[in-house]
Homo-oligomer: A and B are copies of this chain.
Amino acid sequence: MADTARHSEPRYGNRPTMKDVAARAGVGLKTVSRVVNAEPGVTPDTERRVQEAIDALGFRRNDSARVLRKGRTASIGLVLEDLADPFYGPLNRAVEEVARSHGALLINGSSAEDPDREQELVLALCARRVDGLIIIPAGHDHRYLEPEIKAGVATVFVDRPAGKIDADAVLSDSFGGARSGTAHLVAHGHRRIGFIGDQPRIHTAVERLRGYRAAMAHAGLPVDDSWVSLGTTAPDRVHEAVVSMLKAPEPVTAILTGNNRVTVTVVRALAAHDRPVALVGFDDIELADLLDPGVTVIAQDAATLGRTAAERLFRRLDGAADAPNQVVVPTRLIARGSGELPPSADR
């Protein structure tokens, strides 16, 4: 009764509050709260009066205030590498669906493969007090997250593991996938096989290289340094790598690529090449079956990756306190033609 109507500074809006509704309906604040939250213990008549006031004023509960009092924000953060990368679309959507089924909203953003930007974004999300975080890490040192995790922010890494901290992670079987893709090429008669991957500071790039090397070693095949190229996925860089591998005195007869962006560029480069070169790509790509030859790939299940990570997160939020663990999601080789080409006649 003391401080009724001191209007606030120009904010974006000037929305009615529960206090306004209470005043208009001639009831107490708590009664409005009961109606808004469908709590029992309100006579139909009172409820009707409150509801009328709500409708007349266009009241909508401010969940930001609610959240402050309740302690949970019912929101989770998802930090991925690039919202525009089609590989992450299904992962993003899968996380959203799980969040939705738990009544939580999804805040997300791109790290742009920049560790500083990742940290900035993650900490901004912590400051907003998201209940949990799902992170596709760009950096390799996540000790900055320790105080947050200790303070109760559930965190699950996906696609790549956390660096220097012990945390839940859901990963694709990069090593196994690359190994089986390479073995597939070997089985089709190739002995000089190139590998073009992403930057070596990216975990999956290193794992896939390891898988490639393991398969080559298993087959008793040497790996020439010039057959391996790790770097950015910029088309120019990848294109040069292809050209140099094919121009060498002992040119490769097959190539294994480290991810979808590399695959696309390699397909373009090979289309311009005179001699057929076999190709197995990591990650499935749209229309791969319609190219000539169809592109043989090691497909990851991005949706399963996202769903598994989100389910793990909500289990943590529901109190699961077991030790952090890693889940590995299998990959699947899909033969479509490019990986089954025989080596072209040795010069």
A contact residues vs B (CB 8 Å cutoff): 8-9, 11-15, 58, 60-65, 67-68, 70-73, 75, 82-86, 88-90, 92-93, 96, 100, 105-110, 123-129, 131, 147-148, 150-154, 264, 267-268, 271, 285-292, 303, 317
With A and B bound together, what is the CA distance between A288 and B286 in angstroms? 10
Number of copies of this chain in the oligomer?
2
Known: A12-B152, A58-B150, A106-B109. 11 other contacts (CB 8 A): A11-B152, A12-B131, A12-B153, A83-B92, A83-B93, A86-B89, A89-B89, A105-B125, A108-B108, A264-B287, A287-B291
With A and B bound together, what is the CA distance between A63 and B73 in angstroms? 11
Interface of A is mostly: mixed
A127: chain B residues at CB < 8 Å are 60-63
Contact indicator A151/B15 (Cβ below 8 Å): yes
With A and B bound together, what is the CA distance between A64 and B29 in angstroms? 22
A13: chain B residues at CB < 8 Å are 151-153
With A and B bound together, what is the CA distance between A268 and B63 in angstroms? 48
| Minimum CB distance partner of A58 in chain B | B147
Residue from B14, B64, B93, B131 within 8 A of A73 (CB atoms): B64
